[in-house]
């Protein structure tokens, strides 16, 4: 990780919200883009924190403090991202983290990037059940359903929703489904019948644009 990110990384690691926000804002003032701050510092730091948690070097309270610092950074940087947003809606997307899963930091980054790139996004938050997602997608007249899953036990919920869309005649083929999150792989997503997979928020936008083109051709 580059030296310019050391203060921010240390502040997140310590779970110090005030220092995290201040370090992030200093980087923005120095001309570093919010996206770069996330991809080059915040995300790798969270991966480190997750690894430390797995090795029992830190425990849940520390992971929660770090996550809270990241949420405060997201809130502080949001206006800088939104400033770049485009006007015309390129498509309509319902996004949520799947049943039983409360992780939303990555989902929120994906949501913001989609909005910044011109999509109208309805955010269902966390712990969204397949039925809730499908109903919301129909009510919102969505083109795309975007699901985030961060834990292995969350994966069956992704599959359940894709299966439900197949079984329910009136929804069959109505929405494109894209998925992402730590335990989700491109191969798994394809095998489950998802239309798209994104490794990160930048790829999420590329995939959403490609899915909209597909819909246009269909």
Residues that bind ligand B12 (CB under 6 A): 43, 46-47, 49-50, 53-54, 60, 63-64, 67, 100-107, 109-110, 146-148, 150-152, 178-183, 198, 200-201, 204, 207
Q: Closest distance between ligand B12 and the C-beta of residue 169, in Å?
A: 25
The least distance separating ligand B12 from the CB of residue 105, rounded to whole angstroms, comes to 3
Q: What residues contact 55, with CB distance under 8 A and at least 6 apart?
A: none
Could you tell me the smallest distance in angstroms from the CB atom of residue 172 to ligand B12?
21
Nearest approach, Cβ of residue 201 and ligand B12 (Å): 4
Smaller CB distance to ligand B12: residue 73 or 87?
Answer: 73
Question: Measuring CA to CA, how many Å separate 146 from each of 34, 40, 53?
Answer: 22, 24, 28
Q: How far is the CB of 215 from ligand B12 (least distance, A)?
A: 16
- Taking the least distance from each CB to ligand B12, the nearer of 21 and 110 is 110
Comparison of 60 and 87: residue with beta carbon closer to ligand B12: 60
Dump strand ranges (E) for the chain: 91-97, 119-123, 144-148, 176-180, 196-197
Comparing CB distances to ligand B12, the nearer of 94 and 169 is 94
Of 152 and 169, nearer to ligand B12 (C-beta) is 152
Q: How far is the CB of 49 from ligand B12 (least distance, A)?
A: 5
Neighbouring CB atoms inside 10 A of 163's CB total 14
Separation between Cα atoms, residue 20 and residue 60, nearest integer Å: 19
CA 66 – CA 99 distance, rounded (Å): 23
Closer Cβ to ligand B12, 170 or 187, answer by number: 187
CA dist list (Å): 169 to 56, 160, 161, 163, 216: 47, 15, 14, 11, 21
> 15-41 in b/e burial notation, b at 16+ Cβ within 10 A?
bbbebbbebbbebbeeebebbebbebb
Q: Torsions phi, psi of 199, nearest 5?
A: -75, -30
């Amino acid at each position: 990780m580059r030296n310019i990110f050391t203060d921010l990384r240390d502040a997140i690691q310590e779970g110090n919200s005030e220092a995290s926000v201040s370090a992030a804002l200093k980087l923005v003032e120095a001309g570093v883009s919010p996206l770069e701050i996330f991809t080059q510092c915040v995300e790798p730091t969270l991966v480190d924190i997750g690894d430390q948690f797995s090795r029992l070097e830190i425990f849940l309270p520390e992971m929660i403090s770090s996550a809270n610092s990241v949420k405060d950074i997201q809130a502080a940087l949001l206006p800088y991202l939104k400033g770049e947003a485009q006007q015309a809606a390129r498509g309509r997307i319902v996004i949520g983290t799947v049943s039983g899963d409360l992780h939303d930091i990555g989902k929120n980054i994906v949501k913001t990037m989609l909005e910044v790139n011109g999509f109208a996004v309805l955010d269902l938050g966390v712990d969204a059940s397949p039925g809730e997602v499908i109903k919301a997608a129909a009510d919102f007249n969505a083109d795309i359903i975007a699901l985030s899953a961060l834990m292995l036990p969350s994966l069956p919920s992704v599959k359940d929703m894709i299966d439900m869309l197949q079984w329910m005649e009136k929804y069959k083929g109505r929405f494109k489904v894209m998925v992402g999150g730590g335990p989700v792989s491109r191969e798994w997503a394809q095998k489950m019948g998802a239309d798209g997979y994104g490794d990160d928020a930048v790829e999420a936008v590329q995939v959403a644009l490609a899915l909209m083109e597909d819909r246009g051709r269909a």
